[in-house]
Amino acid sequence: MRGRIRVPGDKSVSHRALIFAALATGRSRVRGLLNAADVRSTANVLRALGVHVPELSDEVAIAGLGLRGLHSAASVLDCGNSGTTTRLMAGVVAGYDFVTEFVGDHSLSRRPMRRVAQPLTAMGATVALARGDVLPMEIRGGPLRPIDWDNESSSAQVKSAILLAGLTGGVSVRISAPRPSRDHTERFLRALGATVTESDGGRAVTLEPPVSLRPVDIAVPADPSSAAYLAALAALADEGEIVLEDVLDSHYRDGFFRALGRMGARVNRAPLARDSAGDALATYTVGAPASGLRGISIEVGDVSAMIDELPLLACVAARAAVGDETVVTGASELRVKESDRISVTAANLRAVGATVEELQDGLRIVGAGRTPLRGHIRTHGDHRIAMAFGVLAALAGNEIAIDDRHCADVSYPGFWEDLARATGAAADSPSGSAMGELA
Ligand code: S3P
């Protein structure tokens, strides 16, 4: 296990870079945008609303239409697999006096949307949902009123939807939540000239709507959620280490790296002197401990900063010292991600021979050390399940086949190639999984 890898651009930042470029006044420049299926969904939705978004590439220039410049879409907006596209763009169109209909793929069509429909309705939009909660979702926006919304969950997507509705609707908004969550939307707003204030230890945020936004000029940092897979691989390797470059450095996103450290892995975070338009950057160096990983407990306060990495953490936990338990609680949100990640992770861990108990709001995983894991993974088209089990599949001695490797393209194009590069294996090994001997 060795090498230096800069994983692709951050997904959350990439969605927002496109959205804010579209709403800014003037020409924006985005470098290092993540060109993955989810971000292409946001680009397509913006195009349908009249924004000229060129084909995504390493450097994208977008002429913003201003906060009031979007046009009504001629057809339904297909958000593909992307919950972020749907919820953030629901907020954007809520400020416009036209009707927009959102649809998505099979997975997105079962995910809850009432959580955005409720605050947007309270602001004055009219929102219709299938079965009161899911796509298709039709939004008639219009004159909005200010809102002070007490959010039940700590979802950054819901918070962002309300902030974006305040922005396009020209009304002040305040959102509070049980716990703080990733603050990318707030950082963009501030960097582009809006007044956003935080209170209550980051749990509440207020936006005073600006008249216009300055253009975006950003180099998107590497995605910590993608870097996490290679960090996990290094933590489970026999020897060596991996260096992960230019990773977005945020306390709201680094929970997996902190958890790996608590499990005993060697995790070194070196903050970089330069930043990326407001986002700090760090280089992570990760290696395996001399003597196996420990089980840990992940509680509700830990969840938000590693929400997308919890299936991966469960896979790592299955290789902790024999008999060591890792218990994840307070994570019931996992049930409404791209798949029910509690039951899908548990079923797949069981399918490869690990010992796991499914909890209502989490998982209990029993470490089995280096006992080989063998079996077939059903991803349910969920990119994070494919990649988490891809890491286990890449470890010497395991024989794990994954039904759909292609879905990794939702957030990490080139994942299988990077995994193979890190282990020195070929990405297209005949078993259909990236299996390789670790150096
Ligand atoms: C995201 C927020 C999180 C995360 C998702 C991206 C964002 O979802 O799981 O992958 O970019 O705001 P929730 O806001 O639903 O927790």
The pTM of this model reads 0.96
Quick one: which of 207, 148, 150 has its CA closest to 177? 150
- Domain positions in the chain: 10-219, 224-435
Q: Does 308 sit in the ligand 1 pocket, CB within 6 Å?
A: yes
| pLDDT on residue 432 | 34
End-to-end CA gap in the chain:
5
Q: From the CA of 307, how far away is ligand 1's center (Å)?
A: 8
- For ligand 1, atom 4, the nearest C-alpha belongs to 308
Between CA 436 and CA 423 the distance in angstroms is 6
| pLDDT on residue 239 | 86
246: left (phi over 0), alpha (psi -120 to 50) or beta: left
User: How is residue 45 written in tokens?
Assistant: 């939705």
| pLDDT on residue 31 | 97
Q: Beta strands of 323-382 (E only): which ranges?
A: 325-328, 355-359, 362-366, 374-377
Burial of 33 (0-12, 13-18, 19+ CB in 10 A): buried
**CA of 156, closest atom in ligand 1:** 14
User: How is residue 418 written in tokens?
Assistant: 């990077």
**Rounded to 5 degrees, what are φ and ψ at 337?**
-90, -160
| pLDDT on residue 353 | 98
Neighbours of 195 (CB within 10 A): 12
| pLDDT on residue 144 | 98
Q: From the CA of 82, how far away is ligand 1's center (Å)?
A: 10
| pLDDT on residue 428 | 53
* Homologous superfamily (CATH) for 224-435: Enolpyruvate transferase domain (3.65.10.10)
Q: Does 334 sit in the ligand 1 pocket, CB within 6 Å?
A: no
Q: From the CA of 177, how far away is ligand 1's center (Å)?
A: 14
Query: How does 154-185 read in b/e, with b if 16+ C-beta sit within 10 Å?
Result: bbbbbbbbbbbbbbbbebebbbebeebbbbbb
Lookup result for tokens 């077939």? 376
| pLDDT on residue 278 | 74
10-219 CATH: 3.65.10.10
Residue of 115, 182, 312 to mutate, ligand 1, most atoms within 8 A of C-beta = 182
Residue type, 328: V
Q: From the CA of 155, how far away is ligand 1's center (Å)?
A: 6
Residue type, 222: A
**CA of 160, closest atom in ligand 1:** 12
What amino acid positions are annotated as catalytic residues? 308
Alpha-carbon torsion (43, 211, 160, 223), positive or negative: positive
User: How is residue 176 written in tokens?
Assistant: 């509070």
Question: For the chain (length 439 residues), average pLDDT per consecutive 10?
Answer: 91 98 98 98 98 97 98 98 98 98 98 98 98 98 97 96 98 98 96 97 97 97 98 94 97 98 98 82 95 96 98 98 98 98 98 98 97 98 98 97 98 97 67 33
